[in-house]
Each structure stands twice: as C-alpha cells, then as structure tokens.
Amino acid sequence: MNHFEYRRNLLHAEDIPVSRIAKEVGTPVYVYAEATLRRHYEVFSKAFASHYTAGRASICYAMKANSNQAVIATFARLGAGADVVSEGELRRALAAGIPGERIVFSGVGKTRREMAAALDAGIAQFNIESLPELEQLNEVALAMGRRARISLRVNPDVDARTHAKIATGKKENKFGIAWSHSLDAYRRAAAMEGVEPVSVDLHIGSQLTDLEPFRLAFTKIGGLIETLRDEGIDIRHVDLGGGLGIPYAGEEPPHPDDYARMIQQTLGHLGCDITLEPGRLLVGNAGILLTTVIYVKEGEDKDFVIVDAAMNDLIRPTLYEAHHEIVPLWRAEDTAPRRPVDIVGPVCETGDYLAVNRPMPKLSAGDILAVCSAGAYGAVLSSTYNSRPLVPEVMVRGGHYAVIRPRQSIEDLIAMDVLPPWLKSG
C-alpha cells in the first residue's frame, strides 16, 4: 500500500485530498506520504529480523534516492543508518540525526577532504572501490592518527538484468574492484597500518525484479569470504548494497521476505553480520509529482498535453526511458474513452517528456495530474535548466501536511550568480 488512493473519486495522500496541496502550494510539487515511508521501512526491517538468523542485519538508507532532511529524519527515528556517497550526503545524514557509527561511505571518487570528514564523524566503514583510493585512505588515516574500517567493493561481473545506466556489477562498469584482483587487493589492505579490512561489499545494480542475479553474486561473494578466511583475513561482515526493485508499471519484484530468505540460504553458513542499503525500495512509491495541464495541442499524428512539470523536475523518463503511471486527480470512469498522447513539459528539448503515447482520458487546460512512483530519483535529480526554479516538496502525515522544501524563487535563482568586478560598473 502506498497511501495514495481515490476517495469519492478524488485522489488523496493519506487523509488529504492532493487537490488541496496543489491549490495551496502550487504546481509542480512533490508530495510524500510519511505512512508509506514508515511502512516500507518496517516491512523491510521485519523481513530480515524474521528470516536472516545468521547474524545482525543493519539497514543503511541509500540517501541518493531522496536526500530531503525530512525523509532522512523519518528513517533515522526508525533506527536506520545511511549509505552516503559524498561529504554533502554525510553532513545531511548527521544533521538529520543519524550517528556516525550507522553511516557507510560509498562512491568511486572520495577526496582526501571527504575521507577526513568521515573519519572525524566516526563512520562505520568506507566502501573502497579502487587500489588508488585504498592507498589514499591509508595515508589520510595515518596522518590523522586513525585506523579506518573498510570494505572493498568487489565487482562480481554479474548481469543485473536491469537498465544499462543503473547496472553496476559487470566488469565494464566503473564500480568496484575487478573480481580477478579482489584477493590481491585484500592482501594489500591487510598489510596496511591505516586501514582495517572488516567486510566485503558489493552492489550489482538498481531496480532488480528478479532474485537470480542477487543469488549468483552473493554465492560468488560467499566463496571469496571463505578464501579470505583461509588466508587469515577474518571477514565477519558483508555489505550487500541495495537494488531490489519496485512496481512502476505492473512489475512484480520479489517481496523482502523472499529476499531475506535467499540471503540466509546463500550466506547464512558464514555467520556474518550484514548491511543492506535500500533506497528506491523505501521511497519510490512514497512520492508523487503534481503537475497542471497548461495546453492541449492537437498535432497531425498525435496530441500533446503540455504540463508545467518538465525534465528538469523529473528526469527519469528521458534519462532511463522510465515509465511512471500518470493519473488525473479526479478518477475517470472506467468506460471513459482514452486516447494516446505525449505528456510533455515547457523545456526547450525534444527529450522533455513525462510520457509518450500514453492512453489518457480527455484532458483540458487546468486539469491536474499526478505522476506516480516519483519519490526516488525525482526531486534529488532535479535542476534549474531553462532558469526554472526548483519545485517544492511536501510531506503528508495523516490529515496534515508540511512544506519540507520551499519553492525556489526566480530572484533567489538569479542571485546565485555573481558578476565579476569589470561588469558591475557598466
């Protein structure tokens, strides 16, 4: 259940008609249902508490999916940690109440400054993605008189069977240390004084709707852990990343219970504690994007529904050819005629669309649409292209809502630029 439903034919977010939010806050606007965030976290957490019995399971929310402070704080109060990929995300996690010991730092390009900030924060571990990064962290830690807990992210060369732009576990991807180099990399790490290898890490991709790629990857990682233990590198923890998909257009991803059982089956014999890094799974279906129809333009071959949200507000359709269900705020009769249209934005790019050839009931200027499953990689990937201000975000709880990111004004947007001295006097 995602807590967005029609009541008396009017779309609601929890107990609030979203038309009220559209009227009072304006569109475009992102709307999140707090009850969905909580429910998804609790279902995921309960699955591992029930079915993974070999060790402790820690959930570190992958903040890149949605880094609004209210979203992070919601998970923090439920006991979540955070998976961060930049100093900015690290500081956001700390500001939202997640302690350093529940934070893991991933990403291929950590700088010395970021490493030092994470060491100062006392994070749980660094997920190291290359030998140069390993050597640099060792130097930074020694200079600070610290010893950094690390996991090496190993690339198992497993096809995640997902979109090419969100696949991360094949040998041609930029992520992780090549499978053939992993054993030597651990040997080097074990010989360093500034780092302590405590875990093995992997993440094969995002929006997976089949457990088999996970099973293949986890089985390979289990074999690596056994080899490392045979060499005296006593690995007692494994970071399994995230990637479990959500339904966008009728997909039926595995339930977290089945995912947890599979991990118990493939890795339980090792007795490892595990870290899981769900992102999209927790927030994707907890959000919608509201947008208003500006014009309906009749074309020679098709009609175009021009709305006030654009690719700079939600880039997934054009970046990933992603499908988002789009529904009007007033439920159309099942028997109402539908006609394929392109739902497009005002940005001056052919790729500025939210849907192509989408069957929709008759729409008119002023109608409001809800773009569903927009809680992940929506607002967080937005931009100000075409000098379009960032849109607001709203969180709903029961019969109340709060603006959790105000709409950026055009004046604020322009004020971000600074004229050089030789242009100020002219």
Contacts of 381 (CB under 8 A, 6+ apart): 314, 315, 316, 319
**What is 211-228 written as a DSSP string?**
SHHHHHHHHHHHHHHHHH
All domains of the chain in start order, with CATH: 4-32+284-415 (2.40.37.10), 34-280 (3.20.20.10)
The pLDDT value given to residue 163: 44
Main-chain dihedrals φ then ψ at residue 12, nearest 5 degrees:
-120, 150
- Name the amino acid, one letter, at 262: M
Q: Please, what is the angle between helix 112-121 and helix 87-95, to 10°? A: 20
DSSP H helical segments within 10-169, as ranges? Answer: 18-25, 34-51, 69-77, 87-95, 112-121, 131-143
Q: Spell out the per-residue pLDDT of the chain, length 426, in tens.
A: 689 999 999 999 999 999 999 999 999 999 999 999 999 999 999 999 999 999 999 999 999 999 999 999 999 999 999 999 999 999 999 999 999 999 999 999 999 999 999 999 999 999 999 999 999 999 999 999 999 999 999 988 776 554 444 444 444 555 679 888 999 999 999 999 999 999 999 988 878 889 999 999 999 999 999 999 999 999 999 999 998 999 998 888 999 999 999 999 999 999 999 999 999 999 999 999 999 999 999 888 889 999 999 999 999 999 999 999 999 999 988 778 889 999 999 999 999 999 999 999 999 999 999 999 999 999 999 999 999 999 999 999 999 999 999 999 999 999 999 999 999 876
The pLDDT value given to residue 168: 44
- How far is 128 from 132, CA to CA, in rounded Å? 9
Catalytically annotated residue among 60, 272, 348, 372: 348
Q: 3-state DSSP helix/strand/coil percent for the chain, to nearest 5?
A: 35, 25, 40
Q: How many residues would you count in the chain?
A: 426
- How far is 355 from 420, CA to CA, in rounded Å? 42
The pLDDT value given to residue 158: 73
The pLDDT value given to residue 299: 80
Active site residue 348: yes
Strand pairing report for 148-155 and 125-128: parallel
